[in-house]
Structure 1
């Protein structure tokens, strides 16, 4: 089986409501869908959702990298030769993990369809039967966030991830209001998305968080401030998760060496796809660190890819891949059993793409062959 043609679709996924985090407000999610055709008629799908604040890639730049740099290099290659494919991509361009993730995911989808097995079977087999979904609360007014949390409890959600990272005093009020509304037994995770900037600001906030029963605190300092994470970790018993500060193997090695976090958030868009994400999970396991698989708010395609990684690894103990639930229209059919996700045993990613919706949401496209 060889790669015969690659079709690229630049789309915008419509959100039910704006998604607000510390550094940006999203009214929709720009995404690139990659359709890989093989000489045997097998179609593999991949996806790239770029975030310029995390990897330095944009929607437009990622499309150009895929169209002109990566896709032409891979025509004629075997999707099963994933180590070679990553080497070719790495030689073609430095970094650009989101663009590479789209290729990687499409290769795994094609591999799974070729052998008629779900992707998790290619990664060591299924370990988890299900994961509990966590509802993500965008940054709004404290009472509004508390109201949303209460309504989500009624819909079946049993845990929350709160986006904060603006003004510390307001952030503390947001967390306090949600905690009071949902009660003390409901898990709450707090994601600062680098918004508190440095360890001094974070330590100031932690004086108030200690009493609010927080599951963990995620990325409270700037991404490259690994030493800031070390300082915070030494001064609190609230578990720390690193997200934007972990992209690839070099970051993971430094995090492990400095014991800079208790947990790591692995995202396929940061690491370059399924293959390198699994490597990060193995490194974390050797260091005794739990992992989460998160997302950049992706469609059914990349969300399913993340789930296949998570379901195959014991060290991955939580997931945050709820993009399809947030969209008013999606190109795929990944199924959620709220408040759980349970993967099917369908071949490849297990996602059927609606070509009519894909064309409807496409703003521009290209063919490489």
Structure 2
């Protein structure tokens, strides 16, 4: 494969509803979109979701990374082995700017696979996609009225797996839990604290004051506070999900693997693309650390599709999967056939993907996105 051009643009697609948690409040996407065009005219797209409160990235830092490496990538990337070597050689840079690289890698993999007339899975020697994928219902930090409306809607879809953004105030949060449990009696609930507390005692006090059984709690402590995390893990029976505190393979060194109550939230953008995500999923499975395939609010069908590669290969080690909201949340998507969950929160590969298509098997809105990329001048 020969790359003719690489371009980047920011994505600002409006949400149909605002989404709020303790670290952010959004009404539109905050992502970058990279377009790869080959000399044979094949087009590939990749997406990255920089989050300053997770990896310290911004839209601007993604653009700088892209500008710095664009010409070199065009000249040196021709095959999957070239991509793999580039990732190894630039590991430290990608550790600092994983979302920037994620967008680039996904776009090149998509274009390369189309050149080879095959799926991305075949290009990276992963199992082909098959079957169904089960998704989680996510509830933001909203009023009781909104929580009731959304929970009722999720119940009509048949969801029973819930992720709830919390405030840290037991009175406010218990009202949410009561709504969920009364509407969906068999609900499995996990909490997302988004780094609310400074110490273990406050976490334990909160858990002791809430009125629901918990499947797990995500990021109760400050991000990367592994010292306090080790204290908490010795005192708590509820599994701890690591999100902001885990986004590359080096973070395995900080996990007490002899205590089996840690779960890793694996998000493709946060980890730096599919290749690095596969590596982390493999190591986690070997260490018997379960995974949740995560998603960032506002992802398009590109990142939803990329996550399926990992979810499919490591099904036996995955406890839950997030995302696949598509145009249920976004005013528009990069495709007219967005990847969204259906009844019971399931996404069926046979119904949702163009199986006869190559690459990520998505029929893009080329008129809207490829042409705008070609017109774009990157500053």
Q: Would the TM-score normalized by the shorter structure come out above 0.5?
A: yes
- How much has 1:182 moved relative to structure 2? 2.0
What does the per-residue CA deviation read over 1:20-75, in whole Å, with 9 as the maximum and x for residues that have no partner? 11111001012211011122322221111111111111122212321x21222201
CA contact (8 A) 1:120 1:309 kept: no
Name 1:27's counterpart in structure 2.
27
Say which of 363, 369, 372 aligns to 1:358: 369
> What does 1:221-236 correspond to in 2, within 5 Å?
221-236=221-236
2:339 corresponds to: 335
Tell me the SS of whatever aligns to 1:98.
helix
- Distance change (3 Å), C-alpha of 1:187 and 1:360: farther
User: 1:229·1:261 contact (CA, 8 Å) conserved in 2?
Assistant: no
Shift of residue 100 of structure 1? 0.7
CA contact (8 A) 1:164 1:191 kept: yes
Secondary structure of the 1:117 match is coil
What's the offset of the Cα at 1:262? Answer: 2.4
The runs of 5 or more residues in structure 2 that have no matched partner are none
- Separation of aligned partners in 1, 2:172 and 2:109: 44
After superposition, the C-alpha distances for 1:247-295 in whole angstroms (9 at most, x for unaligned) are: 1011123225574852110111211100000111011111111111112
Shift of 1:4: 2.4
Task: Give the match for residue 303 of structure 2.
Answer: 302
Residue in 2 that maps onto 1:129: 131
Partner of residue 192, structure 1: 193
Matched residue pairs, number?
A: 364
| Partner Cα distance (1:197, 1:142) in 2 | 27
CA distance in 1, matches of 2:167, 2:371: 35
Deviations 1:167-202 (A, max 9, x none): 34423432233223322x122221111123432221
State yes or no: 1:144 paired with 2:146: yes
CA distance in 1, matches of 2:260, 2:167: 20
Asked if structure 1 preserves the Cα contact closer than 8 Å seen for 2:113 and 2:119, the reply is yes
Tell which deviates more after alignment, 194-203 or 217-226.
194-203
In 2, Cα distance between the equivalents of 1:108 and 1:130? 23
Normalising by structure 1, we get a TM-score of 0.90
- Which 5+ residue runs of structure 1 have no aligned equivalent? none
Report the Cα distance in structure 1 between the residues aligned to 2:372 and 2:195, rounded to whole angstroms: 31
| Aligned equivalents of 2:258, 2:154: Cα separation in 1 | 38
2:44 corresponds to which residue?
44
- TM (norm. structure 2) is 0.87
**Contact preservation (8 Å) 2:155, 2:183:** no
Q: Does structure 2 retain, via aligned residues, the 8 Å contact 1:13–1:31?
A: no
Distance in 1 separating the partners of 2:228 and 2:265: 17
Summarize the Cα distance change of 1:172–1:202 in structure 2 as closer, same or farther, 3 Å threshold. farther
SS in 2 for 1:15: strand
Quick check: 157-166 or 91-100, which moved more? Answer: 91-100
Q: CA deviation at 1:143?
A: 4.2
User: Which whole-Å CA distance do the structure 2 matches of 1:326 and 1:236 have between them?
Assistant: 35
Shift of residue 123, structure 1, vs aligned partner: 4.4
Aligned partners of 1:152, 1:6: CA distance in 2, in Å? 40
Structure 1 residues 293, 247: CA separation in 2 closer, same or farther (over 3 Å shift)? same
- Cα displacement (A) at 1:163: 1.1
Query: In structure 2, the residue corresponding to 1:208 is in which secondary structure?
Result: coil
Instruction: Decide whether the 8 Å contact of 1:192 with 1:218 is kept in 2.
Output: yes
Q: Give yes or no for contact 2:94–2:272 (8 Å, CA) kept in 1.
A: no
Q: Deviations over 1:105-147 (max 9, x none)?
A: 1122123323333223434204762121212111112343133
Q: Aligned partners of 2:14 and 2:365: how far apart in 1?
A: 15
Matched residue, 1:243: 243
Is 1:216–1:238's contact at 8 Å kept on the other side of the alignment? yes
Say which SS state the counterpart of residue 75 (structure 1) adopts.
helix
Q: Which residue of 1 aligns with 2:289?
A: 289
Partner of 2:71: 72
Other-structure match for 1:268: 268
CA contact (8 A) 2:94 2:101 kept: no
Q: CA deviation at 1:227?
A: 2.8
For the Cα contact (< 8 Å) 2:249–2:280, is it kept in 1? Answer: yes
Q: Which runs of 4+ in 1 moved over 4 A?
A: 91-94, 256-261, 359-362
